[in-house]
Structure 1
Amino acid sequence: MVHIHVMGASGSGTTSLALVLAERLDIAHLDTDDFFWLPTDPPFTTPRDADQRIRLLLEETSRPGGWVLSGSALKWGMPLEPLYDLIVFLRIEPELRMARIRAREVARYGDRIGPGGDMEVKSGQFLEWAASYDTAGPERRSLSAHEQWLETQTAPVLRLDSSLEIDDLAAQVLLHPAIAAGAVRRRR
């Protein structure tokens, strides 16, 4: 069984890379947003109770087979930390990351985030929050908080520039000794 945590700033490609890895390793893909947020319309407005999100996540990670967890579970995902075989930390230039986020928001929500749309204000707040990732302090999801958290982890950390092609990123993860050894064990 292989357990990979792919993390980074919003827009760095954590979900995209995790989906490719899950497919190539034939393991489950889990995303922290699915556990952190209650399903609402508009989305991402109501956090799930911390105990409930951990319980749900532990249920999913205890199923047979491996998994790739994408996103950030800072301050609430501590029970998973001993399970990680590899932590992949994605970084990308802020301008490119924000361009990706804007394009993703438009593709997902269209006119809902435009002037007068029901998600206009919430989307603007999200973009402002996401843009401050590299400069915000450790009290919230930020580069500073991620770096502090990474210093406390026992699993190996693979740092990647997510401006690379997704296939190149996946290849680097799959060739990492912590993953290559687990993939070999799974085939036996």
Structure 2
Amino acid sequence: MRKVLVFGNSASGKSTLAKRLAASEQLAHLDLDLLAWQATNPPTRVPLVESAKAIEKFMLQHEHWVIEGCYSDLLKVAEEQSTEIIYMNLSVDDCIINANNRSWEPHKYASKIEQDANLAMLIQWVSQYDLRDDNFSKAAHISFYQNYTGAKKMLTTNS
């Protein structure tokens, strides 16, 4: 029974890989973006306890799954149940290229135009990955990867 956590910088290819795994191996797929944020302007995080409950419910409902996101605090909720992790450790430049080439994400945006209106903000966010000191940072992801005791893989390209 495969239970995979996929994580990395924004636009590193997490969703693409998770969707591919879900389709090829019939895994349930959870995108943490969908339960991490409240629909406020500006967006604010859902309280950790609420997001954790949603993750736990998802894991109880599905025997095989892939969970993806950049939230190291939320990944820790699923860590003990997971069988493996995949760290998408692409360069910031590669993530910016991916962001510029990103197809429309209808589960997150009403239109491609709405999504593209956030592109400058996304690129700024992506470019700060190595510098940030938060749950979304490279430092947090490396720590999560290094401390994980199960099967793990680090990918540095999308190919």
TM-score interval (norm. to shorter): 0.7 to 0.9
Structure 2: gaps of 5 or more residues: 106-110
Contact 1:32-1:71 within 8 A present in 2 as well: yes
TM-score by structure 1 length? Answer: 0.71
Q: Deviations over 1:22-61 (max 9, x none)?
A: 11111201111112123x388x823212111110110011
Which one is further off, 57-66 or 68-77?
68-77
1:92 is displaced (CA, Å) by: 2.1
Aligned residue in 2 for 1:32 = 32
**1: CA distance between counterparts of 2:46 and 2:158?**
32
Please show how residues 29-178 of structure 1 align to structure 2 within 5 Å: 29-38=29-38, 40=39, 45-104=43-102, 107=104, 109-112=111-114, 119=117, 123-133=119-129, 135-164=130-159
1:78 is displaced (CA, Å) by: 2.4
Change in Cα spacing, 1:56 to 1:143, as seen in structure 2 (3 Å) is same
Aligned residue in 2 for 1:2 = 2
Structure 1: gaps of 5 or more residues: 165-188
TM-score by structure 2 length? Answer: 0.83
Q: Which protein is richer in helix relative to its size?
A: 1
Bigger-Rg structure (1/2): 1
Matched pairs, number = 154
